[in-house]
Chain A
Amino acid sequence: MSLKRRLTDRIFWVVCGVAFLLIAAPSISVLVSVFHQAVPALGWQLFSHRTNAKATGLQNAILGSLILLGGVLVVAGSVGVAAGIYLAEYATGRTEKLLRFFSEILAGMPSIVIGYIAYLTLVVQFHWGYSLLAAVIALSALVLPYIVKTTEVALRQVPTAIREAGAGLGMPRTATLTRMLLPTALPGIVSGLIVALAISTGELAPLLFTAGFTDTNPKLQLLHQQVPYLTNVIYTDISLPGSRAHATAAAAGLLSLLLLVILITAGRLVARRARRQTARMSL
């Protein structure tokens, strides 16, 4: 190899390395510093005790966050997948344009605006109070466009040949959809749902206006019952005086990050399966 080529090669690798560090360093430093600050609070009491002034427990917040995620999965999942199917398979003309338009507006709306609107309508106007249902609806509105988009894309990626094969055999359109298209698109749809959950895990703004907080464990009651959740602990405890509060906030942050990593890894695995399946079909 000539000197010039070796030099170019070396420079290229250095540039790549620097770029990698620039991307990786912030996340690594956040992880390290959060972990470092959380150390005093780490222990089983996080799971066995609830949040209150004396202990560094997070049991109620962990349960609340999981319940919220479950609610988002049900509400945003069903509405979003249904809308995605409608857009990909049935919508035409004006309805399609209208639905797409509103979906885009929702996607661009700041989460704090969504929270505020949910507060004005659901919490105040409907007299729901800070409640599970208001929180789930606000979070769902936030991730809905994402689920709609991934569902639509996953269905559109199913080869036309499969639709034609179903039609050519005289199969009703719904049968082709449920038996052929949806199973084929399922990995794509699922990975979209998982990413939506990952986004929900880190959200605070819409919940501040809708969920409230309690030091007791959450009840599965839809209205008039406040819901504790992890990101609220981060937000509140970080601004409290005292190292114990700060350690608790860091521990809540660490648990949120852990949940995020689990969700993202799961999403990756499902997406990889989807790619393999599509590759096989377009032989």
Chain B
Amino acid sequence: MPEPSTQVSYSRPVPEAGGAAQAAPEVVDAVFDIADLNFWYGANRALRDVSLRIGRQEITALIGPSGCGKTTFLRCLNRMNDLLPDTRIEGRLDFDGEPLYRPGVQAIEIRRRIGMVFQKPNPFPKSIYDNVAIAPKVNGMKVNLDDLVEESLSRAALWNEVKDKLKQSAFSLSGGQQQRLCIARTIAVKPEVILMDEPCSALDPLATIRIEELMTELKSDYTIVIVTHNMQQAARVSDRTAFFTVEDHPEGRSGVLVESGPTHKIFTAPSDQRTDDYITGRFG
């Protein structure tokens, strides 16, 4: 009996007609405009000359082998890397036409506009209600919290499952529900962009499908950037795909962006041989 495999070897994942096929060849309205971005962890150059435009209300997937810098890149976009000691960033990274790393820009303010969902569901050790309400409360948003909680949970397709147990601990939920709670919590802060770092890697296939459906629904209001190891996922949900890889340089290994474009094109007619090798499963 053949072993079940999560990755189809030597065949292209086929993008679904819905989103990907309609993406224009070039990004017209860019939320992020990134040029020649370099990033260092200490002496280690993790990103080398990355240039990418990320379109408004589109889903952009970042794919590539382990260590290619896609998560590092994602965490540059909301200045999460600021939390790490001994890091350095150079190059252009404009968000809505403004340099994200200009002195005087508050990282905290940025992260309210650019939310993040993490690899492992990480609800706060609090009730379901508090998980959604706490950040708006702390951040001083002038809103009716009850309404905001219901709205956010509904938007994250979780309301019907939790409306009768809002006071229960968030840990009483399943992994997939916890991840949707984390998405609800992110939405509650009313961000413009949602960054997702392999949001389904800790979830089973059914929970994964629910998150993917949710992303497609959220696209009408938010710009979404998702890091994924799962190429089928990138093909299913994203409008555009950026393929990163690792390059060996004299001073060490660095992540580089090989190519980016409409998902349909990247998966059917990539212009770089390395992309083709990766998506067909010959490499990575």
Contacts and interface: CB of A to CB of B under 8 A. Distances in A.
Q: Interface majority SS on A: helix, strand, loop or mixed?
A: helix
Contacts of B185: 165, 169
A164 B185 CA distance: 13
Contacts of A277: 125
Nearest to B85: A92
Given A92-B85, A170-B139, A164 B118 contact: yes
A168 B115 contact: yes
Interface in B120-158: 120, 122-126, 134-135, 138-139
A168 B138 contact: no
Interface residues of B, number: 30
A159 B189 CA distance: 22
A120 interface: no
Contact of B138 (A161, A171, A280, A281): A171
A89 to B, nearest CB: 12
B134 A161 contact: no
A169 B85 contact: no
B111 interface: yes
A281 B169 CA distance: 11
Contact of A172 (B83, B138, B182): B138
A283 interface: yes
Contacts of B189: 169-170
B118 A165 contact: yes
Nearest to B124: A180
A169 B190 CA distance: 10
A183 B123 CA distance: 14
B116 interface: yes
Interface in B87-119: 108-113, 115-118
A280 B171 contact: yes
A159 B111 contact: no
B4 to A, nearest CB: 26
Given A162-B125, A165-B118, A175-B138, A170 B111 contact: yes
Interface in A133-189: 159, 161-172, 175, 179-180, 183-184
Contact of B135 (A92, A162, A171, A281): A171
B80 interface: yes
Contact of A168 (B116, B123, B126, B134): B116
A84 to B, nearest CB: 20
Nearest to A172: B108
A281 B125 contact: yes
B186 interface: yes
Nearest to A158: B125
Given A162-B122, A175-B138, A184-B125, A168 B111 contact: yes
Contact of B186 (A163, A164, A169): A169
A92 B134 CA distance: 29
B111 A169 contact: yes
B263 interface: no
A180 B122 CA distance: 12
A162 B109 CA distance: 19
B182 to A, nearest CB: 7
A161 B202 CA distance: 14
Contacts of A92: 85
B78 interface: yes
A166 B122 CA distance: 10
Interface of B: 78, 80, 83, 85, 108-113, 115-118, 120, 122-126, 134-135, 138-139, 171, 175, 182, 185-186, 189
Q: Which 5 A-B pairs have the closest CB atoms?
A: A170-B112, A161-B122, A168-B116, A169-B135, A170-B111
26 contacts: A92-B85, A159-B122, A161-B118, A161-B120, A161-B122, A162-B122, A162-B125, A163-B83, A164-B83, A165-B122, A165-B123, A167-B80, A168-B111, A168-B117, A168-B186, A169-B135, A169-B189, A170-B109, A170-B112, A170-B113, A170-B135, A170-B139, A172-B108, A180-B125, A183-B125, A280-B125
